[in-house]
Amino acid sequence: MKTILITGGTGYIGSHAVVAFEQAGYKTVIVDNLSNSSLKTIDGIEKIIGYRPDFFEVDLRDKTKLEDVFRKYDFDWVVHFAWLKAVWESCEKPLEYFDNNIVWSIRLFELMKDYWVRNIIFSSSATVYTSPQPSPLKEREQAQSWIKEDFVTWNTSNPYGTTKFLLEVILTDLSKFAGFNVINLRYFNPIGAHESWYIWEDPDGIPNNLLPYIMKVATGELKKLRVFWDDYDTVDGTWVRDYIDVVDLIDGHLKAYELLENIPLSNFPPEGERIATKGFIDNFNLWVGRWVSVLEMVEAAKKVTGKDITYEIAPRREGDLGEVYCNPSKAKSILDWEATTSLEDSLRNSWKFYNK
């Protein structure tokens, strides 16, 4: 049975990946420092899959502890989710983001090299695309068709995006010079939850992401949604994003995994060999191709929850773009993947959790 190391596996997206990979017949091993998640997630995963997944509380910066995990298992793959991910926070603490997101990933890659684990799926983000992207509303269709995987990545609009961009550059070189096989998935704004609602996105305090924020207002835990600015050049002045259901998103990871399994593995060059064997890297946008503004999301959530969702317009946040587009056609043609969950179903699954 193939064994997969999942970093950040108790987080929102990582926990859904653990469930999907286990249910598809793989063995997963989770490492997470629980800085943005908790052991409740392990209980939730156990309820869904019927047994407790292997979990190690490890900070990726602690190479010794991480190496203990590499010694214990013969990993075939790594799926790398562990990351600091708040865009606004990255603008306030850019050095912390560069240090944490880049340096700890390098520790991980060193161990992958030492233990001959060359296959990795990386969760990148559409924030790597050069900004500002074309934004006038009338050009939407045209703009979306531009942002294919070979669109320029650079000049990111915040340090979070820069850390993703830099890691993509590093992985590209590792594929060229160290035989790494990489599937790089670029996505934005996952929403929803596993239908069991045993695992979910439930950040403490005021959430960074829109949907948990709206849900917490719907339950009355928070009084008002703060809508960060209503003067963007968009349908109603509020941000427009593409929201993808987390279960669809993880299905894309499984499809990517199948693709990687079917490519011939590189011959790993012995240490010190001058001509390194080439690996492989490919990038995919995992997007729905469906645009939703903040106020449209509020309206959709009102219908699903039956609750009033009060909001106020707050000042624009640094690093936020008005609209972001991507073209998901490559994932459809090569991975045979498409997001199929409706916005209402994603909202309904989230609401099941918040309303319980």
Ligand X SMILES: NC(=O)c1ccc[n+]([C@@H]2O[C@H](COP(=O)([O-])OP(=O)(O)OC[C@H]3O[C@@H](n4cnc5c(N)ncnc54)[C@H](O)[C@@H]3O)[C@@H](O)[C@H]2O)c1
Which positions lie near ligand X, rule CB under 6 A?
8, 10-14, 32-37, 59-61, 81-83, 85, 104, 123, 125, 187-190, 209
Nearest CB to ligand X, comparing residues 84 and 225: 84
Strand partners, 130: none
Closest approach of ligand X to the CB of residue 180, in Å? 18
Closest approach of ligand X to the CB of residue 47, in Å? 18
Q: CA 172, 176, 177, 179: dihedral to nearest 10 degrees?
A: 100
Catalytic residues: 160
Per the CB < 8 A criterion, the answer to whether 333 and 327 are in contact is no
Q: 150: buried, middle or exposed (CB in 10 Å: 19+, 13-18, 0-12)?
A: exposed
Find the helix or strand (DSSP H, E) in which 77 lies.
strand 77-80
Return d(Cα 51, Cα 27) in angstroms, integer.
12
Closest approach of ligand X to the CB of residue 139, in Å? 24
Strand partners, 54: 29
The 8-class DSSP code of residue 354 comes to: H
Nearest CB to ligand X, comparing residues 180 and 200: 200
Phi, psi of 283, deg, nearest 5 = -110, 140
Closest approach of ligand X to the CB of residue 249, in Å? 9
Return d(Cα 289, Cα 107) in angstroms, integer.
35
Return d(Cα 291, Cα 133) in angstroms, integer.
15
Closest approach of ligand X to the CB of residue 189, in Å? 5
Which residues are CB-neighbours of 251 under 8 A, at least 6 positions away?
Answer: 20, 337
Nearest CB to ligand X, comparing residues 191 and 260: 191
Nearest CB to ligand X, comparing residues 55 and 280: 55
Closest approach of ligand X to the CB of residue 60, in Å? 4
Q: Which residues of 322-342 are buried (b: 16+ CB within 10 A; e: fewer)?
A: bbbbbbbbbbeeebebbbebe
